[in-house]
Structure 1
Amino acid sequence: MLRTVKLCTLSLFCLAFCHIAGDITPAVAADESKNSVFITPKEAAENSDFKIQGEYKKEGQGIQVVALGKDDFQCVIYGGGLPGAGWDLKTKRVIELDGDTVLDLVEDHEKVDRKSPTMGAKPPASAVMMFDGTKKSVEEHWKPGARVTDDGLLMEGLTSIDTFGDCSIHIEFRLPFMPEARGQGRANSGIYVQGRYECQMLDSFGLEGKHNECGGIYTTKDPDLNMCFPPLSWQTYDIDIRSARFDDASQKTENARITVRLNGVIVQNDVELPKPTPGSQIKEDPSPGPIHLQNHGNPVRYRNIWVQPRDFTSLTSRPIVPGFERFHTGPNADLAAGGNLLLGELNCTACHQVDGQRKQQILTKQAPRLNDVGKRIDANYLLKFIADPHAIKPGTTMPNLFADLSSEEQRKVIEPITHFLASTGNIAHSPIDRASVKKGMKLFHETGCVACHAPQDGESKTPSGTTIPLIHLEEKYSISSLAEFLRNPHAIRPSGRMPIFNLEKEEPV
């Protein structure tokens, strides 16, 4: 349970009393300067508070020590380890201490200096190197007014010349040490993606992790985990942005979506962006936008900035495995377990051999049964699905077997396969009963369908990456064949993850 306690030990009382009497000097001297700002580690090196602040760990516990100025500290104690490195996401205690007591608290802990796993990441060949420390990169990629320090770091308050739509962004940033500052005045900046959507930069080390703190999407969403490192540590943002989509009349058809990694950990997973951040430079329209690094009056520094243009429309046509998306993409994800899950769900072992021990760890997935498929699925749907599975059924785990063939070559292969499958029976269509539609909508939202499928009322709050789309059902099934599938999905898909709901006789219809 989160609680804040101000501790005062008898020994500290005695020290304070003796100091007043002039007998001794406190071991930790308070920094008497007001609103101290340290821009580099060298400047802060002799500051007593800076020497104490940071991250500490021992078996089963992590501590973040936040300097508040004048020998005052906030200590956040985590059960299991540090955020992103063992914390159980439940046990958390906050206390306020002075310097001597902090040193007593962490005496049996190891002080650690974590590094982002993407620190120093090299740009892919297709990326635009926006800033590599050279004057040339500033002149070529940033509008007039961009400033660089003597040691080759980019300064806050600048906008790129280049503009981007769908893209991946890598940026490294360093927040100043401002122990006496509070709230939004504590090392504030931000990166405006496309000049529209702000990912906040702030010294929120040890704080709650809010939308206006590091890792947050300003005014839109808190980070899933506060992964902010101590001030004057180099940190990384790795951002994937999928632009808002517009029709030919420039009417928005889809909101932008963003995934954000702070120091290598996903803190925003496929988040929908309904509108630009207040104060953004550019309105939301079909045009690409620049990178803007905000000047909030604090000396934030940047380096190694590159942007890779992407086409996330094609990239999103990937298999959706909800179990992986929900449990193996967030903070503290077990990537090895996630890999084993994908090996089974994508049926990799159908073509690739694995050793005995690994084989025991993989739950294989059997393909759907195709006997009598002509009675269940419309022949035209079969033709289109075999030709391009992901276009017809986004998220399907069926691979596009004929993607490398020309259109004519595809036709020569796919049409015979379709005729063969359709020959197993004839699908019987019947008209829709409007009275049953209303009842069916109610059951869809009450029975549990919405746990895996987006609600049909358009009010989905589930990330698209964990939702199995229900598209083109009216083209695929007849009412009777869909009802039969809902009654017993495992008869057709023996390895299906969809449960049998034991519906009443008429409920599937």
Structure 2
Amino acid sequence: MAFNIAKAQKPQDTEVYQPVPLKVNPAKTQGEAPSDAIILFGGKNLDEWVSVKDKTKPAMWTVADGIFTVKKGTGNIETKRSFGNYQLHLEWRIPENITGKGQGRGNSGLFLASTGGGDDGYELQILDSYNNDTYTNGQAGSIYKQFVPLANPARKPGEWQVYDVIWTAPVFNADGSLKSAARVTVFFNGVLVQNNVELTGPTQYIGKPSYQKVHGPLPIKLQDHGDPSEPISFRNIWIREL
């Protein structure tokens, strides 16, 4: 005769009281940092960043009026700290008077983990995609050359754009083989554009990406793409380690 286990149980049998979640005070307004966040840029200076060309030197991009802007020719910048898994908030702006087209229209990149100098790492594309035709795995919200965004919620040039990112770093076995691939979820202006996608490796401009370099926590990098179009600005950057 079948026995109904549910009749022998109580609601309390499936109630859990430990562990107690960490108390975090949320931001008072949307986009501001919660109480446990590390502020990577709060409007005053680039003390949390260094030049990728020479990591003993400070980032040389321009800070004014609570924002910072790419200073063309100075090269990429990256965080002094390295991170594994995290939640990241970043706001960026294409100039209203932007010129050019395609990949030459306000090009930059958010490297979610920087595997070396130059443009090495895992890139979330920054570009004017409001009314600008280009290859779709290279538009704003794409994981560059890997994943096309699920939607295009880009605002007009001159308006602030918002990325909210959940990054799960890759894990490697002791012999250097891949144990688990990197994963990323991205909200672009509040719209889901990357849904826990599994990356096939760091960004490759030419060819297919693959995991060839074992690494642990890494810095986050922003790109000086060197385009002749007007430079990109950033503000309100914070991170929560997970």
User: TM-score normalised to the size of structure 2?
Assistant: 0.72
CA contact (8 A) 1:178 1:187 kept: no
**In the alignment, what sits opposite 2:23?**
none
- Paired position in structure 1 for 2:82: 163
Task: Spell out, residue by residue over 1:269-293, the C-alpha distance to the aligned partner (whole angstroms, 9 max, x if none).
Answer: 011101101269x974231111111
Instruction: Measure, in 2, the Cα distance between the counterparts of 1:306 and 1:261.
Output: 15
Match in the other structure for 1:277? 203
Question: What's 1:198 paired with?
Answer: 123
Within a 5 Å distance, the mapping from 1:389-428 to structure 2 comes to: none
Within-5 A mapping of 1:239-318: 239-278=165-204, 284-297=213-226, 298-310=230-242
How far apart, CA to CA, are the structure 1 residues paired with 2:92 and 2:30?
11
Distance in 1, matches of 2:161 and 2:122, equals: 20
Distance 1:160 1:283 in 2: 23
Closer, same or farther: CA 166–232 of 1 in aligned 2, 3 Å: same
Indicate the residue corresponding to 1:129 in structure 2. Answer: 39
Matched-pair contact (CA < 8 Å) for 1:255–1:272: yes
1:176 to 2:95 alignment: yes
Q: Which has the higher strand share?
A: 2
Extract unaligned runs of 5+ from structure 2.
1-28, 51-57, 71-75, 115-120
SS at match of 1:211: helix
Superposition deviation, residue 210 in structure 1: 1.2
CA contact (8 A) 1:164 1:288 kept: yes
Alignment map for 1:1-400 (pairs within 5 Å)? 120-135=30-45, 138-139=46-47, 141-143=48-50, 144-156=58-70, 157-178=76-97, 180-195=99-114, 196-207=121-132, 210-278=136-204, 284-297=213-226, 298-310=230-242
Question: Quick one: higher RCO (CA 8 Å, sep 6+), 1 or 2?
Answer: 2
Identity of aligned residues (%): 35
Higher helix share: 1
Letter in 2 for 1:307: I
SS of equivalent residue, structure 1 residue 224: coil
Q: Is the contact made by 2:68 and 2:235 (CA closer than 8 Å) also made in structure 1? A: yes
> How far is 1:233 from its partner?
0.3
Partner letter of residue 142 of structure 1? W
Q: Aligned partners of 2:187 and 2:213: how far apart in 1?
A: 24
Equivalent residue letter for 1:128: I
- Residue 301 and residue 120 in structure 1: after superposition, are their counterparts in 2 closer, same or farther (change >3 A)? farther
- Partner amino acid for 1:309? E
Rg bigger for which structure?
A: 1
Matches of 2:238 and 2:136, distance apart in 1: 27
Alpha-carbon distance, 1:295 to partner: 0.7
Give, in angstroms, the shift of residue 120 of structure 1. 4.7
What amino acid does structure 2 have at the position aligned with 1:147? W
SS in 2 for 1:149: strand
Note the C-alpha offset of 1:190: 1.0
Q: Using the alignment, how far apart are the partners of 2:65 and 2:36 within structure 1?
A: 28
AA at the equivalent of 2:95:
P
Secondary structure at 1:295 match in 2: coil
Q: How far apart, in 2, do the equivalents of 1:292 and 1:283 lie?
A: 20
SS in 2 for 1:184: helix
In 1, Cα distance between equivalents of 2:77 and 2:97? 22
Give the corresponding residue for 1:504.
Answer: none
Q: Structure 1's 122 and 150: CA in aligned 2 closer, same or farther, altered over 3 A?
A: closer
Over 3 Å counting, the alpha-carbon distance change for 1:216 and 1:309 in structure 2 is: same
Paired with 2:232 and 2:99, the residues of 1 have a C-alpha distance of 17
Cα deviation, residue 159, structure 1 = 1.0
Q: Give the secondary-structure state (helix, strand or coil) at the position aligned to 2:60.
A: coil
Decide whether the 8 Å contact of 1:275 with 1:284 is kept in 2. no
Distance 1:174 1:283, change over 3 A: farther
Preserved contact between residue 236 and residue 264 of structure 1 (Cα < 8 Å): yes
User: What SS is found at the alignment partner of 2:64?
Assistant: coil
Sort the Cα spacing of 1:179 and 1:134 in 2 relative to 1 into closer, same or farther, 3 A.
closer
Count of matched residue positions in the alignment of Structure 1 and Structure 2: 188
TM-score normalised according to structure 1 size = 0.35
User: Hey, what's the Cα distance between the residues in 1 that align with 2:128 and 2:175?
Assistant: 42
State the distance in 2 between where 1:134 and 1:202 align.
25
1 CA distance for matches of 2:65 and 2:149?
32
The question of whether the paired residues in 2 share the 8 Å contact of 1:250 and 1:286 is answered with no
Q: C-alpha offsets along residues 349-369 of structure 1, whole Å, 9 cap, x if unaligned?
A: xxxxxxxxxxxxxxxxxxxxx
